[in-house]
Structure 1
């Protein structure tokens, strides 16, 4: 168990044999509750789930704030302990040099078609949808994390090219 932080009555930690998605456990043994705070290497959003007990809203908010304040420590500890980034088969994009997950509505398979354009003599012609070349699907077990540079290296499906992007 890798301890990330301690706040009054609560320990935040990462289990050394855990599962995806990447998350931190926050447990208060005295009050009998535990939550999971989910994080990502390709998103700056956090989410949470009550595992057991009844934490107060303020306790959940405190845990979320603590994880956010230590997000780089969380990413580094998860990588050190589990050697997985939980990005296998996820769609990501490199926005500049920043790695971001692609929201479902931006999926490559459901690219929004463009409206027909007018050709010569007023006849309609179809214009093909253009999908951003920066949208990539991460090849399983190809992603690695470098805590020193806070960046992810990965290979995309159908390619041998290594891509690098900084975590948001």
Structure 2
């Protein structure tokens, strides 16, 4: 896909939960924890995890509740490194002089809404690699992975656990 605002390429791969999941080098530990928690189910539930499962990854993670209105998603937990990239995406007090970042964020939020609708209807693991702005307005290359988490019924994704690394 091409992001017109950045005029740079980024890559998104979606992996169905119904087929064999690939090994994803940079996210080996989060993938193992998520797989262990889900067992033979399609997705794990939030209470299948404990915070200690993510030792070494706390700064890089974000736990987001998928609400019916994706523009009002709620982050339960957002680590420091993750916050450097996405902490102010919905901040109404974002510096008005930072035009490029604001435009990028508008585009990101539009795409994010579509993405959340897909996660609700047919959950999947998503791997993103591309360039995004940090709060310093410097653009950095990242890899990010999203893992869906189900509700008590196990039928739909209600939460995402995301992990981000700079590359």
> Shorter-chain-normalised TM-score: which range?
under 0.3
Report the structure, 1 or 2, having the larger helix content: 2
Normalising by structure 1, we get a TM-score of 0.26
